[in-house]
A = this chain, B = another copy of it.
Amino acid sequence: MVYVSRKEHFNAAHKLYNPDWSEEKNKEIFGPCSNANWHGHNFELIVTVKGIPDADTGFVIDLKKLSTIIRTTVIDKLDHKNLNVDVEFMKGKMASTEVLAMEIWKILEPEITKVSKGVLHSIKLYETPRNFVEYLGE
Chain A at the B interface: SS class: mixed
Chosen A-B contacts, 30 in total, with CB atoms closer than 8 Å, are A1-B136, A3-B133, A4-B97, A4-B98, A4-B133, A5-B131, A9-B128, A11-B128, A13-B13, A13-B38, A14-B40, A16-B58, A18-B56, A18-B57, A32-B79, A33-B80, A35-B82, A35-B86, A37-B85, A39-B40, A39-B79, A39-B82, A53-B94, A58-B93, A58-B94, A58-B95, A59-B96, A59-B98, A60-B133, A63-B131
**Interface flag for A110 (CB, 8 Å):** no
Taken together as a complex, chains A and B put the C-alpha atoms of A53 and B125 apart, in Å, by 15
- Nearest B residue to A30, CB-CB: B57
**Interface flag for A24 (CB, 8 Å):** no
Taken together as a complex, chains A and B put the C-alpha atoms of A81 and B53 apart, in Å, by 23
Excluding A32-B79, A37-B85, A40-B40, 9 further A-B contacts by CB distance (< 8 Å) are A9-B128, A11-B39, A11-B40, A12-B39, A12-B40, A16-B57, A30-B57, A37-B86, A42-B128
Q: Is the CB of A35 within 8 A of B81?
A: yes
Taking CB atoms, residues of chain B closer than 8 Å to A53 are 94, 96, 98-99, 102
